[in-house]
Structure 1
Amino acid sequence: MYKYEFRESRDYGGVIVQQEHLKIRKRSVKMTAVVVVHGGAWAIPDDLAKASVDGVKAAACEGFSVLKRGGSALDAVESAVKALEDNTVFNAGHGAALNMEGEVELDAIIMDGRTLASGAVSSVKNIANPVSLARAVMEKTDHIMLTGRGANLFAESIGVVTVPTHTLVTQYERKEWEKHKGYVTGVMEDFNSQWAHDTVGAVAVDCAGNVACATSTGGIRNKMVGRVGDSPIIGCGGYADNFSGAVSCTGHGESILKVTLARLILSHIEQGKSVEDASQLSLRYMGERVRGAGGAIVVSQSGRWAATFSTERMAWAAVEQDVLWYGLDPNERIKEQLSQ
């Protein structure tokens, strides 16, 4: 357990930074285990709304079942994101968006808030669950990120099962790509259109008070070959630190990269803001500073959580103490009791 002892302000070239000085104190009381997931912040059409909500609810329950069995936050976020990657409704793993050449390029990150260990992959083509490959990068290499051919070679070297890339492409995605491939726009216009769809992610805190995050995506439809957004970048698409909390971001990747959104949210929390206020302030700043829209899910070490977005919709769900919360539209927060 971390107890704040005192706060001091320091002047770094005119920038005042408040620093918390921590004293570690052991405590036997179990922390409240929580998992929160999102299925992407974008203009989710009505015909995908129910499936999107059902998908995040199932993924949140999957992640929480790991925590309930005594599993770690890291295990929980991997399990939840794998469920989303396996669901063709979402843009990650199966159901991923296609680039300008009609190819799949997948990105993912996972991070352990206890040690700050992180693993990421980008532009991988034939891996059904890139979040698990990202975890392997974290645990089996001295690196944080592997990309493209190198990531696939690593996957092969450790025996990760590959799949034919075409099996990751849904009929719906192929049809939408064919419809819009001649429509020349920038990535911002693509993101803001009804036919763009986005990232998935999860955050969790376990009974030991450790936090973790994971984020996975197929990117944005019609992106340039080799384009990498925020999702696999530490501090942008996700960040986890036991001292402050865990975040997974979603939205316009280039905007999220510019403001390092995940780390920005946690910096507000470190300054004393609530998880919800920190998220709202950061999303508002991104909108005002670089005209970017998006969303974020956040959990603190104490179990406080938030799901916030500035897009039209974001499918999200959270489970704490056998209570399921979920929503899709702004200010929507529905409660459902889970069976014991």
Structure 2
Amino acid sequence: MNKTMNTGRTLLATILALFAAPAMAEEAAPEMPRWSLAIHGGAGTLDKTAMTPERRAEYEAALQAALDAGARVLAEGGSAIDAVKAAVIIMEDSPLFNAGKGAVFTWEGTNELDASIMDGRDRSAGAVAGVKTVKNPILLADTVRTQSEHVMLMGAGAEAFAVEKGFAVTPPEYFATPARREALERMKAKQLSALDVDHKFGTVGAVALDRQGNLAAATSTGGMTGKRWGRVGDAPIIGAGTYADNRSCAVSATGWGEYFIRVGVAHEICARLRARQEVLDVLAAGMETDPVVKTVEAQYFADAVMADVKQLGGDGGVILVTPEGYAIFSFNTSGMYRGRATSAGVNEVAIFGGEGKPSATPDH
């Protein structure tokens, strides 16, 4: 018993030394961002040599447009939930991403769309899966959150709900693009897997912190090329592809959904951050941890969870924003279409690994 107690005391002392001590530094911590936003447009095996300057410019412009849409909402004092919707809608409307227009085809040659959204204030959430007639699935997911007693609706039922709530019925040809159809045809002709034709997971997402200190997350996708039997990935699953909690963080994921579901990626990252804070609340009441340390912690937990995904055989990435306003990226692939903006003046988009400011560097 004494050995166990001593071990516990040592562990607690280590935690305090690592996380509480920086709060006692004489130098005041820098001012934290008043609002923060991060977006992604998919992660995967991206070949820099195959990316033409024209194609890169096209993706960067689309990412910047989404980033600007969300940042505008936050800069004008709008809510985090409205900001993530604004950013995701831009990407759903772009044929460059696997969400909304430009979604991949199922084995049967249709486009089935999934989306989810979560508000960190009250952890209210909404999600839809397998819808075929809704132009912007993220808006339907939010309507499920705000105008129903449910969290997730699927297929024909979700579409009937959409019509009841005034959504226009979007014809299937709106979503179809030649590049996505060619990918399906190549997959069938050469008996390839979805990973052979989808070099990146084009799921889109956004996470935000608003001026009121509230967090939100949103994710939208067309799934995987050639998916069958009503397959659903992590994007519409609260806790796997999307999660937001004012006490810890907001997360949106992109990647091989089956593995993200098994790990519970989005919730797992937030849970680790919240547990760490709860320990300090008990052991170091009244002490504030240096924001720089909090940023490093968030990066560490995100990287650790993504390493768990990789160990199981999955790949992809996540974006997250903390209550302190730090925008974090973590991916175990060669690249992730991504961007972030803060009230402190950060505004950047990137595609390949090693580009942009390191996530663990304070954004001010």
Shift of 1:40: 0.4
Alignment match, 2:98:
91
Alignment match, 1:318:
340
Shift of 1:279: 1.1
Match of 1:260 among 259, 264, 288: 264
Alignment match, 1:240:
244
| 1:198-246, Cα deviation, whole Å (9 max, x unpaired) | 2100000000000000000000001114110000000000100000010
Q: Which moved more, 1:263-272 or 1:297-306?
A: 263-272
Task: Confirm whether residue 150 of structure 1 aligns to residue 151 of structure 2.
Answer: no
Match of 2:300 among 263, 274, 277: 277
Match of 2:88 among 81, 92, 110: 81
Aligned residues between the structures:
305
Shift of 1:263: 1.0
Return 5+ residue gaps in structure 1 as ranges: 1-10, 12-17, 19-28, 336-340
State the one-letter code of the partner of 1:149: A
State the one-letter code of the partner of 1:245: C
Alignment match, 1:222:
226
Alignment match, 1:304:
326
Alignment match, 1:287:
310
How many angstroms apart in 1 are the aligned matches of 2:189 and 2:257?
22
Structure 2 residue matching 1:234: 3-state secondary structure: coil
Q: What's the TM-score, normalizing by structure 1?
A: 0.85
Q: Go from structure 1 to structure 2 and tell me whether the alpha carbon gap of 1:196 and 1:60 turns closer, same or farther (over 3 Å shift).
A: closer
Match of 1:191 among 183, 191, 195: 195
How many angstroms apart in 2 are the aligned matches of 1:136 and 1:30?
32
Alignment match, 2:290:
none
Match of 1:207 among 198, 207, 211: 211
Alignment match, 1:7:
none
Structure 2 residue matching 1:328: 3-state secondary structure: strand
Shift of 1:193: 5.1
CA RMSD of aligned residues (A): 2.1
How many angstroms apart in 2 are the aligned matches of 1:192 and 1:61?
33
Query: Any conservation in 2 of the 1:44–1:194 contact (CA below 8 Å)?
Result: no
Query: Any conservation in 2 of the 1:176–1:195 contact (CA below 8 Å)?
Result: no
Shift of 1:277: 1.2
Query: Any conservation in 1 of the 2:33–2:326 contact (CA below 8 Å)?
Result: no
Alignment match, 1:3:
none
Structure 2 residue matching 1:264: 3-state secondary structure: helix
Shift of 1:37: 0.3
Percent identity of paired positions between Structure 1 and Structure 2 = 37
- Structure 1 or 2, whichever has the larger Rg, is 2
Q: Go from structure 1 to structure 2 and tell me whether the alpha carbon gap of 1:258 and 1:84 turns closer, same or farther (over 3 Å shift).
A: same
* Larger helix share, 1 or 2: 2
Alignment match, 2:21:
none
Return 5+ residue gaps in structure 2 as ranges: 1-7, 9-14, 16-30, 277-295, 359-364
* Larger strand share, 1 or 2: 1
How many angstroms apart in 2 are the aligned matches of 1:327 and 1:55?
12
Q: Go from structure 1 to structure 2 and tell me whether the alpha carbon gap of 1:246 and 1:196 turns closer, same or farther (over 3 Å shift).
A: closer
| 1:52-107, Cα deviation, whole Å (9 max, x unpaired) | 23222210111000111111000000010000000110000000000101110000
Structure 2 residue matching 1:177: 3-state secondary structure: helix
How many angstroms apart in 2 are the aligned matches of 1:120 and 1:34?
24
Q: What's the TM-score, normalizing by structure 2?
A: 0.80
Shift of 1:168: 0.7
Alignment match, 2:168:
161
